Structure 1
Amino acid sequence: MRKITYLGNHTVTYCRQSLRWRFFFLQFLPACFIVLTIYGYGKWIQVQATNKYGPIIAEKWSKPWYVLSGFTLIILIIWLLQRVKEAHSCLHFYKKGMLIQRPFHKSIPLFWKQIQGISISITDRVFVGKVIHSQYTIVIYPNIGQNLKIQINSNYYPEIISRIKAKIYPRLHSQLRENLDSGEILDFGDVHLSKYKLYTDKENTPWKQVRLVDIRDGSVVIELKNQKAISIPIKNVMNLEVMMQIIQNQVVK
């Protein structure tokens, strides 16, 4: 990893996956053994059939095994490339900022003051009614440039989120409250706030018409008086906790 001196001292690095010796011995080698076993069995059938029935029959009988071994080899290569890709998807934390390392992209250094927000999401992959895998994703919103979508290791997810929030939320909370007091409309993604109204894609609602704003089942639920509640996925809301604090402490009386 290239040293980024202007971001200060390096504190910690989180990678989506790590390629260690355990992976090599317990996963990669057994997978290679399966591919070679299938190919070897096809070769054995070809030799045996050639001796007894001739090359035409031997080719016919052995071909499915060669095709199967080629198919499993392709799967092995795709799987290995994915693991290498994940091993090069890393977040490097420094005292003054962070370095976002993504495969096939140039690494992006960001000072903490250059980050205007984050959003998070957890996507469950379900099979036969059971969750077989959960994908953890964060989106970082820089002051300038495109938003950065990053998939992270579930084991590190709480710690990564806590570190980023600890660095940017105190500054954002103070800054956004000042902006609100000065009459600006605050942008939280699919939700916007002003001193007088709450804005969504569906409604522009005065605060006196808002009964409750709550978080339920992965969504921000806005209950309105005498109207149907509005539900917005939290993945579409930037700086969720800061928004909820502003609503509770300053907007909702």
Structure 2
Amino acid sequence: MDRPKVPGPVIALYRPRPSISQGAFFQIFIGAVLVLLPLSTAGEQAWYAHTHYGPVAASAWASPWLYLSLAGAIAWLGIAAVGFVRARRFIAIHEDGLRYASLGGPLRTLVTAISPGVLYWHELTGIATGTTEVASLTGKSTHSHCRTTIYRQGGAPLTLKGSDRGGIQNLPELTTRLKARLYPRLQRRMEARFENNQWIDFGPISIHPKELRIRNKAYPWKQVHKIYIKKGYLLVELEQPVTIHRRPTASKNLSKPVQILIPVSQIPNLELLLKLIEEGVNP
């Protein structure tokens, strides 16, 4: 039985900011410059050469312009295709899931531009968000780029960029709505697994009632000093003894925290990770 194309009533719809490349006037102008201008020049060259030097010269003079017009037609079709795909791009939140178009990898983008994709809430496994600060030469932050990644079962993640990079408008609002719909479902499953002493994965970091694992290396919770977010990174401070040699014949052991940095954009369901650690971990 085929799945329904629309997962329930629509709640919110998000699109990119309209661009000049989507306008009909822009497409006509580009077509005239790339195709009609070389074609008209080819006609003029052919007429002049034919009247003065004969048909052989007319063909020779017009051929380069005809080839240029053909290349322009191919380029114009490519520009028109990009405009079509961008004009079709959207992501909609429905009662029972998501519907999207022109998102994903190159092939998936083209396929969903023609036939929008559908994802139900039970097919989604996580959401990761990240913000990249762009600084000037003086080091002062000028603006930031937002990105949201939606993870799903049995498929590549969907990456959404903010409108400042030609992506979806109001991306923070969209992300908040997605988390409000998805997190309660995920939280119940995660809490049940955690209570049953099972590992829960959050991308490069995994947690267990007895220990923390970062990039396949485990640390007992009593060794974890602090976990917090700073400037787009999740910082994990570990208590680790460090030996500092003061004299050749003497040394002193000091407990110095070691920091591990993980970009928050790589951690799906970050808020649920922190909540489980806060409520369920007893070092």
TM-score of the aligned structures, taking structure 2 as reference length: 0.67
1:116 aligns with 2:125: yes
**Counterparts of 1:242 and 1:163 in 2: how far apart (Å)?**
15
Supply the AA of the counterpart residue of 1:224. L
Picking from 158, 162, 168, the partner of 2:172 is 158
After superposition, the Cα gap between the structure-2 partners of 1:60 and 1:156, relative to the gap in structure 1 and judged at 3 Å, is: farther
After superposition, the Cα gap between the structure-2 partners of 1:31 and 1:20, relative to the gap in structure 1 and judged at 3 Å, is: closer
Supply the AA of the counterpart residue of 1:140. Y
* Residue equivalent to 2:181: 167
User: How far 1:193 moved relative to its partner?
Assistant: 0.8
1:141 aligns with 2:152: yes
* Residue equivalent to 1:11: 11
After superposition, the Cα gap between the structure-2 partners of 1:21 and 1:195, relative to the gap in structure 1 and judged at 3 Å, is: closer
User: How far 1:50 moved relative to its partner?
Assistant: 3.6
Which consecutive segments of 4 or more residues in structure 1 shift more than 6 A? 17-22
Question: Residues 136 and 154 of structure 1 are in contact (CA less than 8 Å); yes or no, is this contact kept in structure 2?
Answer: no
User: How far 1:84 moved relative to its partner?
Assistant: 2.2
Question: Residues 19 and 84 of structure 1 are in contact (CA less than 8 Å); yes or no, is this contact kept in structure 2?
Answer: no
Q: Tell me the C-alpha RMSD between the 2 structures.
A: 3.9
**Counterparts of 1:75 and 1:164 in 2: how far apart (Å)?**
38
User: How far 1:165 moved relative to its partner?
Assistant: 0.6
After superposition, the Cα gap between the structure-2 partners of 1:108 and 1:70, relative to the gap in structure 1 and judged at 3 Å, is: closer
Question: Which residues in structure 2 correspond to 1:67-216 (within 5 Å)?
Answer: 67-101=67-101, 103-104=110-111, 107-120=116-129, 136=147, 138-142=149-153, 145-151=154-160, 153-216=167-230
Question: Residues 119 and 234 of structure 1 are in contact (CA less than 8 Å); yes or no, is this contact kept in structure 2?
Answer: yes
User: How far 1:188 moved relative to its partner?
Assistant: 1.0
Supply the AA of the counterpart residue of 2:128. S
**Unaligned ranges ≥5, structure 2:** 103-109, 134-141, 162-166, 241-256
1:31 aligns with 2:30: yes
Picking from 268, 272, 275, the partner of 1:245 is 275
After superposition, the Cα gap between the structure-2 partners of 1:217 and 1:42, relative to the gap in structure 1 and judged at 3 Å, is: farther
**Unaligned ranges ≥5, structure 1:** 125-130
**Counterparts of 2:52 and 2:130 in 1: how far apart (Å)?**
61
After superposition, the Cα gap between the structure-2 partners of 1:87 and 1:151, relative to the gap in structure 1 and judged at 3 Å, is: farther
1:48 aligns with 2:48: yes
User: How far 1:204 moved relative to its partner?
Assistant: 1.1
**Counterparts of 1:213 and 1:64 in 2: how far apart (Å)?**
66
**Counterparts of 1:252 and 1:41 in 2: how far apart (Å)?**
80
- Select between 27-36 and 81-90 the one with higher mean Cα deviation: 81-90
TM-score of the aligned structures, taking structure 1 as reference length: 0.73
Structure with the greater alpha carbon radius of gyration: 2
Aligned residues: 242
For residues 20-67 of structure 1, the C-alpha deviation after alignment (integer angstroms, 9 at most, x for no partner) is 996112x21111121212322233233334434444554444443333
